[in-house]
Amino acid sequence: MNQDVFEVQVTKLLQLHAPVKARQLATILKDEFGQHVDRSDINSLLYRLRTEGKAEVDAAYRWSLLGASPQKGGSAKTNVEPMPTTPAQPTITFTDEQQAVIDLDPSQHLLVRGQAGSGKTTVLAARAGRLLSAMNKGSLLFLTYNSALCAYVKKAFSQAGMKGSVDVRTFHDWSRSTAKDMGLEFVGWVDSKARGEQLKRLIKEAEEEIGSHRFFELKEAPQLLGWWAEEIAWLFGQHVTRLDDYLAVERTGRGTAVRVTQEDRRFIWFVFELYLEWLEETRQEDYDNPAGVLLRVLMERGGDLPDDYRYDHVVIDEVQDFDKSWLLVVAKIPRVSLSMAGDMAQKIYRRSFTWSSVGIQVQGGRSRRLSASHRTTQQIMDVAEHLLANNDVTESSDYTTPVRPTKEGDKVKLLLAPDAKQAYEKGYDFVASEFKRLRTTSVAVVLPFSRQLYPAQKELEKRGVKVKKVKGAGLGSFTGGVAVTTYHQLKGLEFDHVVVMGLHDAQYPGRILDSVAREDEELEASLLRRVLYVAMTRAKQSVTLVGSLPFCRFFEDVPEELFDSIHGDIFRRP
């Protein structure tokens, strides 16, 4: 950006919004002018202007132009627009139960539990407006775990009648930008694939330095490299930073296939430290350690998050998929309140925490349940609930047993073919015949793996379907038509119709379970069942399951009368 133009823009914003913080100026430039400017660049300009006698900063690090007269009718601008003293009129009607949650004491922490379709996200959006309205001022950060949900949340704000803006971010994005503002810059995230490649080299290096170990024998145990990557991710998620802590911690959620003794942990830790050294030397961070980035900076600076980076209120959706280390950071952000919503039945990642372990108190009146389901139909839930039978998450104290919806609809359609190739073809034919001419209705065609999306898009386009291959923010802001995406991407969203492809057992769950040690198959199968449960309960009107024989084993116990079999003549129970 031209520096002269940049200075003029910032100077004009100071005239309009002073006193204002550098971070808030960056937000205004991004939200109102579509320009991404780092806070550090704005700070550099502001301090130069102060040196030149053109600007001044107060004790709260809010900037103003020297000699500038206040704008008529202006007010101090935070990263949240000033809210009206009375709540905005919502464009949707809330139930008494939902409204009670929205209106709860804005100065306390809150956990909202509720099943798929109970309106948790929309209630959180309305509560965000209520929090700011009740205080008549303040800043609010709304955190999600992916960009698709970010886009969806912004839509929910509009539906809930929110006036003004809040800072809606993924945890990864907020963590990185905050760490950078505090002086820690890094090149980028290391994903699971790059981590695996680096671990191969580091394990060999460890073997040469400290001798052989059974965990170093990758050639004899091909599954072990995947185990190593998951163990590293688990260490990051639990924020284990010292060997003594690793020796003492219970490895909850790590399965039993690989028995790990105290002596084994010392070898594992040696490789872990080699990996940390490599990250430091290459100025990269592991994607599974977004919280550790900040926690490390805070440790170096005394442990507290500077007030300039805190918010009055923090709201989190899908909190069940946040990890312990993430919540250790989140607990440091709010000055006034923390509101969270989650559903253990929709937990689709191997992340674990307890509220006490992260210092968040949500007992008693601070935990509320939304007991109804407003999105999906009885017929869809009749099938979906079988996916939760004997699932490991049902043992959690935070688990909410699904309530039967009151809305009626069509039975879940079952489209079967003799083999996988024909199943995909028949599935695409079905989508074309049923949804080709729809524009405002939303249809999600979902597949197990990302590599399948482009071929699916091309097959549907050959049949005359106008289709979008979307993930992330594009999916979260999707309003109508046919979208092709993966099972996992549907988390937290909703569509009129959902078509679940790829349900021949050899592919889902077979291909995934084949890479898991036998001892851990049950734990992995529980997670994969929940992924399907989430996909099915995104639908407001209909669900169609598409596959070949043998069909996905997760539906074996579902009574046949609950399905509308499009090709029922070839569907036979073993």
Write the CB contacts of 57 (distance below 8 Å, at least 6 apart in sequence): 46, 50, 63, 64
- Note the maximum CA span of the chain: 84
Select from 194, 163, 151, 167 the least CA-distant residue to 286.
Answer: 194
Report the distance separating Cα 210 and Cα 80, nearest Å.
55
Q: Is 117 annotated as ligand-binding?
A: yes
Q: Is 116 annotated as ligand-binding?
A: yes
Retrieve residue 238's tokens: 């639990």
Select from 272, 286, 306, 299 the least CA-distant residue to 182.
Answer: 306
Select from 262, 270, 374, 362 the least CA-distant residue to 316.
Answer: 362
Q: Is 115 annotated as ligand-binding?
A: yes
Q: Is 539 annotated as ligand-binding?
A: no
Report the distance separating Cα 521 and Cα 512, nearest Å.
10
Q: Is 53 annotated as ligand-binding?
A: no
Q: Is 118 annotated as ligand-binding?
A: yes
Report the distance separating Cα 418 and Cα 201, nearest Å.
44
By three-state DSSP, how is residue 367 classified?
A: strand
Q: Is 515 annotated as ligand-binding?
A: no
Write the CB contacts of 400 (distance below 8 Å, at least 6 apart in sequence): 113, 114, 115, 343, 344, 345, 369
Write the CB contacts of 34 (distance below 8 Å, at least 6 apart in sequence): none
Q: Is 121 annotated as ligand-binding?
A: yes
Select from 184, 179, 122 the least CA-distant residue to 155.
Answer: 122
Q: Which residues are annotated as a binding site for ATP?
A: 114-121
Binding-site residues sit at 114-121
